[in-house]
């Protein structure tokens, strides 16, 4: 018996593809917060019937990036400053926990993967591909969750990540400057390779606070705009 292990083949339902398409559109900000999703229009554009589209939308509602009001419609979630604050403060707590769990699990594969993902971030940064930069940075960040070996924690983080990615994308869209070219993850990666777990946890916390400051500025702008309506 050959020891080759195959990866599961791709889901080939329309529903799964629609979910992927919609999620991407939302997380990259192509669909704006609060925007209504017209079922007929979207199903025609995608050349599918409304049934799989609606099922896909139900999934994204549960995923927390769409919201649905019976007989009124399904909308991209609104983003408030408080949402961003809430997501970030929870993220801090989860990060600390994930590092604690992942710490004794670190092995060569972990370090290799860490470098690989770090490299992906740097490459996206050099290419000035902001969307990909956000994606890869979150994937780098997610490594500790994958190594924590706690399925519920991983699932929770993936849900949270969706929102964070959306927030960052909106933030990037709002300010039309290029992204910072410097590498903010160098220290983080080094600490995860080191021997001082507490230091890694502390840095994760502070590192988050850094990006957080930027996002908060954007969030405050949102609040102002909202209050005018």
List of residues contacting a second copy (CB under 8 A): 11-13, 15-16, 51, 54-56, 58-59, 61-64, 70-71, 82-83, 86-87, 89-90, 93-94, 97, 150-153, 155-156, 159-160, 163
**What is the closest distance, in whole angstroms, from the C-beta atom of residue 50 to DNA in the complex?**
6
For the chain, the distance separating the N- and C-terminal CA atoms, rounded to the nearest angstrom, is 67
Q: How far apart are CA 45 and CA 43, in angstroms?
A: 5
* In contact, 64 and 162? CB cutoff 8 Å: yes
Complex with a second copy: residue 118 or 163, whichever CB lies closer: 163
Complex with a second copy: residue 60 or 121, whichever CB lies closer: 60
DSSP label at 74? E
Q: Which of 26, 13, 11 is nearest to 168 (CA)?
A: 26
**What is the closest distance, in whole angstroms, from the C-beta atom of residue 160 to a second copy in the complex?**
7
67 binds, among a second copy, DNA, none (CB under 5 to 8 A by kind): none
**What does the block give as tokens for 3?**
């020891």
**What is the closest distance, in whole angstroms, from the C-beta atom of residue 155 to DNA in the complex?**
21
**What does the block give as tokens for 135?**
């994606």
**What is the closest distance, in whole angstroms, from the C-beta atom of residue 13 to DNA in the complex?**
4
Q: How far apart are CA 54 and CA 222, in angstroms?
A: 29
**What is the closest distance, in whole angstroms, from the C-beta atom of residue 158 to DNA in the complex?**
21
Could you identify the residue written with the tokens 């910072």?
Answer: 180
6 binds, among DNA, a second copy, none (CB under 5 to 8 A by kind): none
Q: How far apart are CA 23 and CA 115, in angstroms?
A: 27
Complex with DNA: residue 12 or 108, whichever CB lies closer: 12
**What is the closest distance, in whole angstroms, from the C-beta atom of residue 59 to DNA in the complex?**
12
Rg over CA atoms, the chain:
19
Complex with DNA: residue 69 or 210, whichever CB lies closer: 69
Nearest-10 crossing angle of helices 197-228, 81-102? 170
Complex with a second copy: residue 131 or 165, whichever CB lies closer: 165
74 binds, among DNA, a second copy, none (CB under 5 to 8 A by kind): DNA
32 binds, among a second copy, DNA, none (CB under 5 to 8 A by kind): none
Complex with DNA: residue 51 or 93, whichever CB lies closer: 51
Where on the chain is the footprint of DNA (CB under 7 A)? 12-15, 36-40, 47-52, 54-55, 68, 70-74
Q: How far apart are CA 41 and CA 50, in angstroms?
A: 10
Let me know if 129 is exposed, middle or buried by CB neighbors in 10 A (0-12, 13-18, 19+): middle
């Amino acid at each position: 018996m050959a020891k080759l292990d195959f990866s599961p083949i791709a889901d080939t339902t329309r529903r799964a593809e629609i979910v992927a398409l919609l999620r991407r559109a939302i997380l990259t900000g192509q669909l704006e917060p609060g925007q209504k999703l017209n079922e007929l229009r979207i199903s025609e554009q995608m050349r599918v019937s409304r049934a799989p589209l609606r099922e896909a939308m139900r999934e994204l509602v549960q995923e927390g990036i769409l919201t649905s009001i019976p007989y009124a419609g399904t909308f991209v979630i609104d983003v408030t400053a408080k949402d961003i604050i809430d997501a970030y403060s929870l993220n801090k707590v989860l990060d600390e926990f994930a590092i604690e769990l992942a710490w004794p699990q670190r092995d060569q594969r972990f370090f290799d993967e860490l470098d690989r993902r770090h490299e992906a971030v740097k490459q996206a940064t050099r290419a000035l591909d902001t969307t990909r930069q956000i994606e890869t940075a979150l994937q780098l960040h997610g490594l500790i969750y994958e190594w924590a070996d706690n399925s519920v924690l991983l699932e929770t983080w993936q849900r949270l990540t969706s929102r964070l990615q959306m927030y960052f994308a909106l933030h990037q869209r709002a300010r039309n400057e290029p992204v910072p070219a410097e590498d903010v993850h160098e220290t983080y990666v080094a600490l995860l390779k080191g021997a001082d777990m507490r230091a890694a946890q502390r840095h994760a916390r502070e590192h988050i606070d850094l990006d957080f400051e930027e996002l908060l500025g954007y969030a405050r702008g949102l609040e102002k705009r909202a209050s005018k309506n």
